[in-house]
Structure 1
Amino acid sequence: MEVALPAVAEELLKEVQKAFQETSQVPDDLLLALKFVFGSTALPALDLVDQRSVTRVTSPSGRAVYQVLGSSGKLYTCYSSCLFCTCPAFAFSVLRRSDSLVCKHILAVYLSQAMGTCQELPVSDKQLSSIFLAEVEEDG
């Protein structure tokens, strides 16, 4: 089951994608809209996209996960299908306090998809399983 962003956020991301395809940039009005909808996560997320920090890791079985190299240098795993990130900000700001829709890493995933800047990394099913298990071991 795929979790969707609120309709206004989804529509905004579609507009970003359309504008970027046409002009290879995001116009100021859409940058302001991103800031309005996503708050303080918008600019750091755009910075991560500019740094090409988002990688889509895929396996032959069709499974995929995103990894985002955070500004601290730590690698975070994002599951866009269920809007979940392994970063502490997600646990605190999104889950606990509910004052953000998403963390900067998940927003960077969506923006990199919209702008076509997401890097691709094919791995074996075993390697992808290791990524999942590493996250469980860190949490456990």
Structure 2
Amino acid sequence: MAVTLPAVVEELLSEMAVAVRETTRIPNELKFIFGSSAIQALDLVDRQSITLISSPSGRHIYQVLGSSGKTYTCLASCHYCSCPAFAFSVLRKSESLLCKHLLAVYLSQVMRTCQQLSVSDKQLTDMLLIEKKQEA
């Protein structure tokens, strides 16, 4: 049975979540596995740059305020980020497992530091449409 990349990432993050809950510390392996993205992602978490945006229908997205001041949309359920680094380093060149924004989303989930915002279904749809127009 073949293991897909998202399954590997999910397993790594699941093990990390257990370690954080048991020791309240981020494992040292984080930098080994994710490289320099780990430090950058932890910085985003420290700055509380991650917001979980949810709607009454149960849909949700994450928005990450990047270090450049630009906001990126992340979909944790399918391992996606709208940033150029994700498109280039993760999808195109397969050099990284995740970009720093997506890793920050996962870390903020594990550390329970994610800000939360509830919006209407229409507002969430509009956010996604605006993001799509900006990418084009």
Provide TM-score, normalisation by structure 2: 0.89
Partner residue, 2:14: 14
**Structure 1 unpaired stretches of 5+:** none
Query: For residues 51 and 18 of structure 1, what CA distance do their matches in structure 2 show?
Result: 23
Partner residue, 1:50: 46
Partner residue, 1:76: 72
Q: Give the 5 Å matches for 1:1-140.
A: 5-7=6-8, 9-26=9-26, 30-31=27-28, 33-140=29-136
Identity %: 59
Query: For residues 91 and 19 of structure 1, what CA distance do their matches in structure 2 show?
Result: 30
Query: For residues 70 and 4 of structure 1, what CA distance do their matches in structure 2 show?
Result: 24
Query: For residues 6 and 101 of structure 1, what CA distance do their matches in structure 2 show?
Result: 11
Provide TM-score, normalisation by structure 1: 0.86
Name the Cα RMSD after superposition.
1.7
Q: Give, as a single letter, the amino acid of the residue that structure 1 aligns with 2:14.
A: K
Q: How many residues align?
A: 133
**Structure 2 unpaired stretches of 5+:** none
Shift of 1:61: 0.7
Q: Give, as a single letter, the amino acid of the residue that structure 1 aligns with 2:128.
A: F
